[in-house]
Chains A and B, each alone.
Chain A
Amino acid sequence: MRILIADDELVSRRKLRAVLAKWGHDVVSVEDGSAALELLKGPNAPRIGLLDWVMPGKNGVDVCRAIRSDRPEPYTYMLLLTAKDAKENIVEGLESGADDYLIKPWDPDELKARLRTGQRILQLEDRLVEARETMRFKATHDHLTFLLNRGAIVDLLERELVRTVREKGCTIVILGDLDRFKSINDTHGHLVGDEVLRETARRLLGSVRSYDFVGRYGGEEFLLVLNNCDTAQALLRAEEIRKAVAESPIQTARGPISVTLSMGVLSSRDWIQHSSGEILCEVDAALYRAKASGRNRSEFARANAGCEAS
């Protein structure tokens, strides 16, 4: 475990460092509270801080207060080391946000036991954070393709529209729909249909930039939100995406299956006063035109198609 020790007094610092290293910990030691705070808030921060109470400048209690008000993640377990042993001091130390305290001169067995408690709490914290992140992922992603789900990609579109207006940029919205997907399901079964959806998702992700977003909008509908302002570029990007899906058959349990994608393409530059609902409606109308004019192609949402926002 990576542990920070902060003590302005040389002999105590050396002793603590040596004993912790002997127990296999990775120890960083500093002489004052400001340096301790910087390390605890910095990258790859030690998870446990052993802080002397009395130090010049920021003392151990100041460090505890600053860390607790700043709440860096993951949680920092802090233990105050103090020669003070009056009851009110201990209360003040714990109220500052320390998890535990140890009276100096400390006994190694006691320190070891208290560090074990700290590690146990950090493990519990880690498991909680992991569970929370798993839930967060599940709540925002489609379980079949692992793309953003409909709720998440629409939220993201709304955020991007607001952001690009503020930053005077624009967003390209592409709504794609796999052509004749129903017949794949009907002919080969839903498991093969699922394989096709997964591979299409992979190809879509592979054909956009790392800062673009791809979501599963409906059954075989995909919504892409790209950062770009150039209308000509928008159509080129759509063409790249179309090719990425169509260029080679998808290998499935029932053999190779060729699929194509029809797309509606829209640039927010042309629809500045419009809500995300209206924009989705317009891009859907453009997608419909792409389907109507032969599929495996994209249509640009240029003029108001008279689409009514749902």
Chain B
Amino acid sequence: MMVRSLSQHNENLNRALILERLEGDSELLTELVELFLGQAPQLIGAMRKALQQGDMEVLARSAHSMKGAASNFIAHGTVSAASRLEDDAKRKDVESAKVELATLEVVVERLLTELANLSQGSPQ
């Protein structure tokens, strides 16, 4: 399956900016990362299933949730991939949605790795 150019998939998360938006609370950051690490695979699973079943409504809603969740980490790559998938689902463009979901999966995979490092406090 074709995915979008992989070079833009690193999020280069900005820990200082994320923390600033959490009022400097690094414990909260750790908690949010843990929540996301649990939630993201579930959302991806739900999106795969929805796409298989042609349920564009659930696909759009899950993509919207992924967009919202990732926006808390200012993860632009994930946010825009999820946003494109949400638009495809709303337009019921199944072919484009397949491509965008595959892209999103790759982007999210990298985001998860970056987040795991981020919450342990390693510099980005």
Interface residue range, chain A: 20 to 34
B65 near A22 with CB under 8 A, answer no
Distance in Å: Cβ of A55 to nearest Cβ of chain B: 9
Inter-chain contact B74/A105, CB cutoff 8 Å: yes
Interface: B22 (CB within 8 A): yes
Is B21 interfacial (CB-CB < 8 Å)? yes
Q: Looking at the assembled complex, report how far the CB atom of A212 sits from the nearest CB atom of chain B, in whole angstroms.
A: 56
Measured between beta carbons, the chain A residues less than 8 angstroms from B25 are 18, 22
Query: Across the interface, do B22 and A11 meet the contact criterion of CB distance under 8 Å?
Result: no
The reply to whether B71 and A104 contact each other, CB–CB distance below 8 Å, is yes
Chain A residues, Cβ within 8 Å of B72:
11-12, 15, 105
Pairwise interchain contact A83-B67, C-beta atoms closer than 8 A:
yes
User: Which residue of chain A has the shortest Cβ distance to B70 in the bound complex?
Assistant: A11
Indicate if the CB atoms of B23 and A11 lie closer than 8 Å: no
Does A9 belong to the interface (CB within 8 Å)?
yes
Q: How far is the CA of A56 from the CA of B72 in the complex (A)?
A: 20
B83 to chain A, nearest CB (A): 8
Interface string of B6-38 (1 = CB under 8 A from A): 000000000000001111010010011001100
The proximity string for B residues 69-82 relative to A, scoring 1 for CB distances below 8 Å and 0 otherwise, is 10110100000000
Q: Within A73-126, which residues are at the interface with B (CB < 8 Å)? A: 83, 104-108
Is the C-beta of A19 less than 8 angstroms from some C-beta in chain B? Answer: yes
B68 contacts A12, CB within 8 Å? yes
The answer, yes or no, to whether B110 is at the interface (CB within 8 Å) is no
A67–chain B nearest beta-carbon distance, Å: 23
- Decide if A11 touches B61 in the complex (CB within 8 Å): no
Given the complex, which residues of B lie within 8 Å of A106, measured CB to CB?
21
Instruction: Chain B residues near A104: list those with CB within 8 A.
Output: 68, 71
Bound CA span A8–B60, Å: 14
Give the number of residue pairs across the A-B interface with Cβ within 8 Å: 57
Report the minimal beta-carbon distance from B11 to chain A, rounded to whole angstroms. 14
Taking CB as reference atom, which chain B residue is nearest A7? B68
Does B39 lie at the interface of the complex (its beta carbon under 8 Å from any beta carbon of A)? yes
A10 x B69 contact (CB < 8 A): yes
Complex CA gap A89/B75 in Å reads 24
A147 adjacent to chain B (CB < 8 Å): no
Pick from A7, A14, A54, A108: contact of B21, CB under 8 Å: A108
A16 to chain B, nearest CB (A): 9
Q: Mark B51-94, 1 if CB is under 8 A from A, else 0.
A: 00000000001001101110110100000000100000000000
Interface flags, A237-254, vs B, CB<8A=1, else 0:
000000000000000000
The residue of chain A having its C-beta at the shortest distance from the C-beta of B33 within the complex is A11
Interface residues, chain B, with chain A CB atoms under 8 Å away: 20-23, 25, 28, 31-32, 35-36, 39, 61, 64-65, 67-69, 71-72, 74, 83
A-B contact pairs, 21 of them (CB 8 A): A11-B39, A12-B69, A12-B71, A14-B32, A15-B22, A15-B28, A18-B22, A18-B28, A18-B31, A19-B23, A22-B25, A52-B68, A83-B64, A83-B67, A83-B68, A83-B83, A104-B68, A105-B72, A105-B74, A106-B21, A108-B23
Mark A residues whose CB is within 8 Å of B. Answer: 7-12, 14-15, 18-19, 22, 52, 54, 56, 83, 104-108
Given A108-B20, A108-B21; 6 other pairs, CB 8 A cutoff: A8-B65, A9-B65, A12-B69, A15-B28, A15-B32, A18-B22
